[in-house]
Amino acid sequence: MPNTETSAPALEIENVRFAYGGSNSFEIVIPSLRLEPGEHVLLTGGSGTGKSTVLQIVAGLVDPQAGSVRVAGSRIHSLHGPARDRFRGSHIGMIFQTFNLLQGFSALENVLAALMFSALPKSEHRERASALLATLGIQWPDSPAELLSVGQQQRVAVARAVACRPTLVLADEPTASLDPENAAGAIELIQQTCRESGAALLCTSHDPAMRARFGRVESLDQLRAGVQVGAGAGA
């Protein structure tokens, strides 16, 4: 079961604003966005419109200038320092475009690092990590992460994201570096793994082919205008 309160939304955003100046200036405005437990949503927008920043705000890595973000019913930005880190580690899984695996660490050690924030007893960490990697087809869990193929590295990144049975998984352009055939397999892997773990999924992409894979698609422009596309938009 996911690490969540069943009565609370997986994610609830209200009146969030964030502006970034400089040569690549943009403004993020999200009056309202809500994901129910286990729901999968695709967030679209052109390059440089702030999709990655939205995920960083949700994860508590960036503070909004206004508004609130609740994950599993808790306001993540009301937590500070180690308390926020612990909450993020136990409730939020993250999949990055470049995977961000720990170089010099094995596939198994990368997943074990994520489990440091888990409520799972430490004595069970290795079993949990090994089982996840085996399920995702990693045959050599003791291999250094940097020696694995791109596809294998992505599988390790997915295992790491769901290791703690999070409430919410955030996937930032997870197929941007893959060819179309491998991209289709990768997003299916991410969605299936989230379904099996019970995690909600918020995925960003500017790839039009991704829309057909989600039952709900939201765009930053529509959210800014106070319009939510809703279920079935990606069908």
* Residues 30-85 pLDDT 10s: 999 999 999 999 999 887 788 999 999 999 999 999 999 999 999 999 999 999 99
Architecture label for domain 12-224: 3-Layer(aba) Sandwich (3.40)
Q: Does residue 157 register a pLDDT over 60? A: yes
Strands 66-71 and 74-75: antiparallel
Q: Using CA atoms, how far apart are residues 56 and 225, in angstroms rounded to an integer?
A: 21
- Sorting pLDDT into bands at 50, 70 and 90, what band is 182? confident
* Residues 208-219 pLDDT 10s: 888 999 999 999
* Residues 75-134 pLDDT 10s: 999 999 999 999 999 999 999 888 889 999 999 999 999 999 888 899 999 999 999 999
Q: Where are the domains of the chain?
A: 12-224
- Give the residue from 50, 57, 87 showing the smallest Cα distance to 72: 87
Residue 136 DSSP one-character state: T
